[in-house]
Structure 1
């Protein structure tokens, strides 16, 4: 290869996927490798920003829960002390008609007004009767919703909320991605709870989660990157890719440096990767992939955390009285996610938009809220007024009061926010990913493999680990190819004592489940 530098395996991107690949390549101590990233710090879409006032905001709602022991071991190596972490019980609600309905909504209709309970129960009964005679699988997400929850819950929560999240109608989404991400209600238990006026909780893999004490989620990945040798890392301007020549197997960087490789693990957005390759066939194919953008909004407030907020973690908003679909009480995750109480900050505005009586800096305490807003060609957003609209939405939903003092704001847009599981997605990926792999390019990660169902931090990390293992010894890439398997709470994968599966491919057979 005619390049300035040659390695066996080049890894593009230092988010969780790229770091997983690099970590595994470093451990096996076999092929030569290098990881590059255009950002000065590791983390990618799991990084953390800090405002000038000292408020931390993750670039989206991230918490640590895991399906893999290997993932646990790697982050515990990076942050090994008990004081490095806080462990939380999830306290999560849906805001509906000025009520706080415990999450998941569809399991807690006992908390709804009576007329809404009746509509929900009618739909659930219809759905249960239909399910007894249905002979086909749902054709899309909307049909899955109707079959599982009925029209009542669909119209109360599932349709409006999912549109706010995905920025596409549920009729345009497939339903194979669901797995453990959407709770299908237990109708008998649900009706018992209505009669007994009981609440159902604790559902899902993140009912208990960890969060780093300092530096936000991004601090985890900076710490993981710090376990890798400096000579194998190129971050910042010297790591920005401008061209990928798949024929010559050479990557060109912005500074003109060329890097030759035998195998390439790319965590770039796959639609942007094929553009850098200049392969028109793949560019055309990638046009069939849809994504939404994400706006992350942060609001820092002076004063003690209100009693009505309490220990809430994250909250869901299906209604149109606010632009955000989710709010995270980020100050509840760690006392170091905001300035300490003795830090003096000026009030920049009152929540109702009026000017403060004084802008003299004064002490806290402080608390903070992080909001997420989706945007797509099917769901436009007034970007210029979004921060103002979000603050008004916080007032509308009783999250903050009109006279609250705002001391800090944050707004950042991520063009690629959610890889949307549209009806067309599988048809594209079944062609695109194998074509790239035939060129020795392993496109992996949240937007590299475009599979939201394996897009959490643990999944993303293992996509990189397993790609490295496949390159080194032909191991099966479980997370990419069998997302339902790795997401099953019964599969025992999280408790495996060994590292990643290292068995050779054997047709399409799955490995046996561990005890």
Structure 2
């Protein structure tokens, strides 16, 4: 007999676990408990603070949404106008010393003439080939060639995606793409080149909001604070040590056992099956591939340079820097770094030279957050990665050699990106149903391993919809129909769905996905 017994046990207090917990709270029916090994909520959407007072999200996160329920839950947690800043995305790709507006493939007018010619020739060839193609691309690389052509593929898409995913594009499938990669319009691109025009903003995150204080992690701490204390176990007493799927008992770090009827697990599914001790599923999970992510933060004394301006995040396909993306984190909120009157000593200059003085001095300050991927196919010199990143910032003219660095941050996340490899779907179509047959719903960025529904809004709703499936058998749209939930024309219909209202005790069936 377990020490605690609940109808639904939720493992993990990241966005997915909190989505499940909020839905269970709103339904007010099944008994439930949420556990997490960390002392605070947030998971892979947490925020760290350096000793000097610089904030860094554990990766690039912004809030944009396909779901009203998600918006409502965040607005409940942070209800005041002053809780948020709203931004228009200003993003560029760094290429040959130029800042090319994002998306790169729509702004070829900014490239040197010889590169424009390569890219246009490739686009023409791709467009002509697409007219007669009778089959679908077999992998991501073929999708790139068919959509963008050889020029864009070689200049940007292949090198950039290798830096992000840490695997060659030939080893990735292309079902995950959806709204995440802009397909260029040959006529529009040609027109913009002739007229020397820049394409407008594109994508679901063209505008976004960001919390005024405490970074992205502050959102999820605030959401967790809306849950009853007696239904949360965090830290050592919330750490999952063992999952006995046959007896339906989870053992926690302090020795407490929790019996459950249904289990929603948001831990990486490969970790879950290891804690279950199920050799068959462990072997099956070995077919899932992931990359690790190094998050690097650099805090700098001085006014934000004019060359940085209001930039949000920036992409780096070239090999003159190890990072694939840089976020000007100080631009998201004035509280993401110490205030100007805080006095800090200079650690060293950007070129590695010693500081002219060890005396603390006031700011102002600004900060950059960098991301570097790692995998067996793309090794990283972990001991020197911070130094290499700072040199990369100098190489790309993000900072100057004599800039004063007052704070640095480095944290590695073993599970950084769930890679959509060619083998992924075959594994998931076998693994997830086998777990569900044991009354285990494995959901979330690494719980269900679908990057295409791995943003914060998607992840939250994976938890919400898992609860709805448990309680009423409702279809899990986000998990099973990523393209449907990501289409813009579907967003308004979902915004108007009334069955997500707080306190609803009955859950009507979802509309079937459109053909």
| Interval of TM-score (by shorter of Structure 1 and Structure 2) | over 0.9
Equivalent position of 1:122 in the other structure: 121
The residue correspondences of 1:121-200 to structure 2 (distance < 5 A) are 121-200=120-199
CA distance in 1 between counterparts of 2:423 and 2:309 reads 42
Q: Which residue number in structure 2 is paired with residue 104 of structure 1?
A: 103
**Shift in Å at residue 495 of structure 1?**
2.1
What displacement does 1:364 show?
A: 0.1
Alignment partners' CA distance in 2, 1:349 and 1:494: 51
CA distance, structure 2, for counterparts of residue 143 and residue 470 of structure 1? 36
What is the CA-CA distance between 1:493 and the residue it aligns to?
4.1
* TM-score relative to the length of structure 1: 0.98
1:503 Cα deviation from its structure 2 partner: 4.0
1:365 matched residue in structure 2: 364
2:463 corresponds to which residue? 464
Q: How many residues align?
A: 509
SS in 1 for 2:344: coil
1:498 is aligned to: 498
8 Å CA contact 2:316, 2:324 repeated in 1: yes
Q: Deviations over 1:436-470 (max 9, x none)?
A: 00000000000000000000000000000000111
Name the counterpart of 2:436.
437
Conserved? CA contact 1:476–1:502, under 8 Å? no
Mapped contact 1:35–1:234 kept (Cα < 8 A): yes
SS at match of 1:490: helix
Please say if residues 394 and 400 of structure 2, whose CA atoms lie closer than 8 Å, have aligned partners that are also in contact.
yes
| Paired position in structure 1 for 2:46 | 47
Residues 47-446 of structure 1 mapped to structure 2, 5 A cutoff: 47-446=46-445
- Distance in structure 2 (CA, Å) of the matches to 1:166 and 1:190: 27
Shift of 1:472: 1.0
CA-CA distance at 1:497 after TM superposition? 4.2
Comparing 435-444 with 468-477, greater Cα deviation is found at 468-477
Residues of 2 paired with 1:498 and 1:215: CA distance? Answer: 32
Q: Secondary structure at the match of 1:179?
A: coil
CA contact (8 A) 1:49 1:59 kept: yes
State the SS of the aligned residue for 1:9: strand
What is the Cα deviation at residue 183 of structure 1?
A: 0.3
Which whole-Å CA distance do the structure 2 matches of 1:353 and 1:20 have between them?
Answer: 45
On the 8 A contact 1:11/1:266 being kept in 2, the answer is yes
Cα distance in 1 for partners of 2:493, 2:325 equals: 30
Contact 1:454 1:483 in 2 (8 A): yes
Q: Is residue 486–residue 493 contact of structure 1 (8 Å, CA) maintained in 2?
A: no
SS where residue 163 of structure 1 aligns?
A: helix
- Given that residues 312 and 332 in structure 2 are in contact (C-alpha distance below 8 angstroms), is that contact kept between their aligned partners in structure 1? yes
- Which has the higher mean CA deviation after the structures are superposed, 299-308 or 250-259? 250-259
For residues 509 and 18 of structure 2, the distance between their equivalents in structure 1, rounded to whole angstroms, comes to 23
**For 2:70, what is the secondary structure of its paired residue?**
helix
Distance in 1 of aligned mates of 2:462 and 2:285:
20
SS class of match (1:435): helix
CA contact (8 A) 1:340 1:364 kept: yes
Quote the Cα distance in structure 2 between the aligned partners of 1:438 and 1:493.
Answer: 32
1:511, CA displacement in angstroms?
Answer: 4.5
| 8 A contact 1:275–1:283 mirrored in 2 | yes
* C-alpha contact 1:93 1:104 (8 A) present in aligned 2: yes
Describe how 1:477-492 pairs up with structure 2 within 5 A: 477-491=476-490, 492=492
Superposed displacement of residue 494, structure 1: 4.5
* CA gap 1:151/1:511 in 2 versus in 1, 3 angstroms: closer
CA distance in 2, matches of 1:449, 1:458: 15
Aligned-pair CA distance for 1:474: 1.1
Using the TM superposition, name which of 88-97 and 485-494 deviates more.
485-494
Pick from 493, 510, 513: which aligns with 2:512? Answer: 510
Cα deviation per residue 1:27-47 (whole Å; 9 max; x = unaligned)?
100000000000000000000
Superposed CA deviations along residues 55-106 of structure 1, whole A, max 9, x for unmatched, are 0000000000000011000000100000000000000000000000000000
RMSD: 1.1
- Give the superposition deviation at 1:201: 2.2
Work out whether residues 14 and 45 of structure 2, in 8 Å CA contact, stay in contact via their aligned partners in 1: yes
Q: 2: CA distance between counterparts of 1:229 and 1:203?
A: 40
State the distance in 1 between where 2:222 and 2:245 align: 32
Instruction: Give how far 1:512 is off.
Output: 6.2
Judged with a 3 Å threshold, the aligned counterparts in structure 2 of structure 1 residues 68 and 160 are, in CA distance, closer, same or farther, namely: same
Aligned structure 1 segments of 4 or more residues deviating by more than 3 angstroms: 499-505
Question: What CA distance in whole angstroms lies between the structure 2 residues aligned with 1:394 and 1:275?
Answer: 40
State the SS of the aligned residue for 1:327: strand
The Cα of 1:254 is off from its aligned counterpart by: 1.5
The answer on whether the counterparts of 1:66 and 1:494 sit within 8 Å (CA) in structure 2 is no
Give how far 1:481 is off: 0.5
In the alignment, is the contact (CA less than 8 A) between 1:101 and 1:111 conserved in 2?
Answer: yes
The gaps in structure 2 that reach 5 residues or longer are: 501-505
The separation in 2 between residues aligned to 1:74 and 1:193, in whole angstroms, is 42
**Matched residue of 2:293: which SS?**
strand
